[in-house]
Amino acid sequence: MERVSPGTTLTNVERILGSDSGVLDFEIADDDTYYVWDGDDREDADWTVEDVDRVENHTEDRFIMFPEGDGFTCKIDVNDDGWERARCWCE
C-alpha cells in the first residue's frame, strides 16, 4: 500500500474502501497497488465521494463504494483549516 498526500490526483479509481476511522483505500484500474489516505489520522477526516453507484459492506467497520461511471477521480489537497482532505467524483 502506498500512502497518498496533498497534491495527488488519482484517476480510474474502480472502488474505494472506507472505514469508520476515516481511512480510504483506492483501487485503481490496471494497477496492483492500493493507495491509502488516512485523513491526518482523524476520525472526523474531511472526505467527500460523489457519484456513487452503490455501497457494500466489506467487514465489520469497512465499506466499499463503487462509481456510477467508469471510475472515480480523487484529489487529495488541504482544506481551509490546514487539514488534508479527499474529494472524489466521476467525470
Q: What is the pLDDT along the chain (91 residues), one digit of tens a residue?
A: 899 999 999 999 999 999 877 899 999 999 998 999 998 776 678 999 999 999 999 888 899 999 999 999 999 999 898 889 999 999 8
Domain count, the chain: 1
Domain that holds residue 60: 2-90
For the entire predicted model, the pTM comes to 0.91
Cα–Cα distance measured from residue 55 to residue 30, given in angstroms and rounded to the nearest whole number: 22
Grid cell digits, residue 69: 461511471
Placement of cell 481551509 in the chain: 80
Residue 82: partners with Cβ closer than 8 Å, 6 or more residues away: none
